[in-house]
């Protein structure tokens, strides 16, 4: 590593330190080490699923390995939510540091926007906990709906067991709501950041790629939740589950596209400006070329070279993406990744309905 790179790295780390402290999740703010908190949450959810299995008893028609395989969905989902929220904040901070030189605003303006983007609101976290508790109590306590995951069992009659089940489902609901809140918070302020004056190179979008990285990461987080539930719980069988997959896929796509609209508009305007400039220069070269009466004039060669260079530059600009991704192919891959739950569901349903019957018969 060169001396310049070492200085840049140290500067980034120094700038990142206060932001990391601001962006700490609820579980990172607890007095326990974060790995211990993750283990405790996992053990709590596993114990609750074992409790449900104990009260509901063996389910006819389902082997033990299948029942416990499906029961693993909830602990894995809880683990995914806890780890993803923390990893998402760290990844966003890294991208924001890389974006600093590309956003042409004073330092204090940028730092204030970053703080609003990454600092969690304790008031909102408390409100989400209240909402999660109320939803769990209404669904499973007041309305007596059966608990999910391969069971028709309602809340057990034992007070301690009931409290344990309510606590676990409240925690999982709160984790999910907190992750959604984090995504909305990041998306809103990323959209504001994208509308600020940006340094744009129409030939190389490298400095703007962190915008695409932030947006894609949020999109994939939502898609990951659907994939976990789809793989562990099997194909959806109710209209509600079909609606969940469709809405989650559309939400994943919107999380990818909407926050980047400001970057898209600025990149598009920069490309149009550059293309107009090249068009004017091509016109000037064409007029100069036509004004030469002697085809063997030395200026012909120079004008041809200039024209070819301008044409190649125009081709490069036309082929460059309008979005903060490395290429148009990368844009297509990002969209496919965002829509992957819905695409996967449609393909499996097509195979099940049209191909499997043919093979069986």
* Structural domain includes residue 46: yes
* Structural domain includes residue 224: no
**Which range among 44-48, 120-124, 144-148 shows the weakest confidence by mean pLDDT?**
144-148
297 is in which domain, residue-wise? Answer: 269-335+348-360
Its pTM surpasses 0.85:
no
**Which range among 28-32, 162-166, 244-248 shows the weakest confidence by mean pLDDT?**
244-248
Q: What is the pLDDT of residue 15?
A: 46
C-beta separation of 259 from 187 below 8 A: yes
**Within this chain, do residues 148 and 29 fall inside the same structural domain, yes or no?**
yes
Domain count, the chain: 2
Separation between Cα atoms, residue 19 and residue 325, nearest integer Å = 25
Sequence-distant (≥ 6) Cβ neighbours of residue 129 within 8 angstroms = 170, 174
* Structural domain includes residue 228: no
**Domain end call among 197, 215, 235:** 197
Separation between Cα atoms, residue 56 and residue 26, nearest integer Å = 34
**Within this chain, do residues 52 and 164 fall inside the same structural domain, yes or no?**
yes
| Helix, strand, coil content of the chain in percent (nearest 5) | 80, 0, 20
C-beta separation of 172 from 149 below 8 A: no
Three-class SS of residue 103?
A: strand
Higher-pLDDT residue of 165 and 145 is 165
Closest CA to 28 of 219, 182, 187, 190: 182
**Within this chain, do residues 184 and 329 fall inside the same structural domain, yes or no?**
no
* Structural domain includes residue 132: yes
**Within this chain, do residues 274 and 166 fall inside the same structural domain, yes or no?**
no
Q: What is the pLDDT of residue 7?
A: 34
**Domain end call among 197, 225, 251:** 197
**Within this chain, do residues 330 and 189 fall inside the same structural domain, yes or no?**
no
Q: pLDDT class for 21, splitting at 50, 70, 90?
A: confident
**Residue 5 pLDDT > 70:** no
Rg over CA atoms, the chain: 27
Three-class SS of residue 198?
A: strand
Q: pLDDT class for 9, splitting at 50, 70, 90?
A: very low
- Rounded percentage of the chain residues whose pLDDT exceeds 90: 24
Give the angle 228-234-235 at the CA atoms, nearest 5°. Answer: 110
Going from the C-alpha of 98 to that of each of 19, 186, 211, 270, the distances in angstroms are: 13, 16, 10, 21
pLDDT in tens, 152-192: 666 677 778 888 888 999 999 899 889 888 888 888 899 99
**Domain end call among 197, 216, 240:** 197
**Within this chain, do residues 185 and 275 fall inside the same structural domain, yes or no?**
no
Copy the structure tokens of residue 226: 């659907």
pLDDT in tens, 47-61: 988 887 777 655 555
């Amino acid at each position: 590593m060169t001396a310049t790179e070492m200085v840049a790295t140290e500067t980034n780390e120094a700038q990142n330190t206060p932001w990391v402290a601001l962006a700490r999740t609820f579980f990172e703010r607890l007095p326990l080490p974060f790995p211990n908190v993750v283990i405790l949450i996992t053990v709590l959810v596993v114990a609750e699923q074992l409790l449900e299995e104990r009260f509901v008893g063996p389910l006819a028609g389902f082997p033990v390995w299948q029942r416990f395989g499906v029961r693993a969905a909830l602990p894995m989902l809880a683990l995914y939510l806890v780890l993803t929220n923390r990893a998402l904040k760290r990844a966003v901070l890294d991208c924001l540091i890389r974006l600093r030189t590309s956003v042409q605003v004073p330092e204090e303006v940028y730092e204030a926007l970053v703080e609003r983007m990454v600092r969690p609101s304790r008031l909102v976290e408390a409100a989400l906990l209240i909402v999660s508790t109320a939803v769990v109590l209404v669904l499973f306590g007041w309305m007596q709906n059966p608990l999910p995951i391969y069971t028709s069992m309602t809340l057990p009659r034992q007070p301690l067991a009931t409290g344990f089940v309510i606590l676990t489902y409240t925690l999982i609901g709160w984790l999910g709501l907190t992750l959604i809140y984090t995504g909305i918070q990041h998306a809103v302020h990323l959209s504001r950041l994208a509308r600020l004056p940006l340094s744009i190179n129409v030939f190389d979008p490298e400095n703007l790629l962190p915008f695409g990285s932030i947006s894609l990461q949020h999109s994939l987080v939502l898609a990951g939740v659907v994939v976990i539930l789809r793989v562990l719980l099997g194909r959806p069988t109710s209209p509600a589950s079909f609606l969940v997959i469709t809405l989650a896929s559309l939400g994943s796509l919107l999380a990818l596209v909407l926050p980047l609209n400001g970057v898209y508009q600025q990149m598009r305007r920069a490309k149009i400006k550059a293309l107009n400039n090249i068009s004017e220069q091509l016109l000037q070269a064409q007029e100069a070329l036509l004004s030469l009466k002697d085809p063997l004039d030395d200026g012909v060669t120079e004008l041809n070279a200039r024209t070819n260079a301008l044409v190649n530059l125009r081709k490069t600009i036309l082929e460059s993406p309008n979005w903060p991704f490395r290429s148009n192919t990368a844009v297509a891959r990002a969209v496919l990744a965002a829509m992957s739950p819905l695409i996967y569901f449609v393909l499996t349903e097509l195979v099940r309905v049209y191909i499997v019957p043919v093979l069986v018969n």
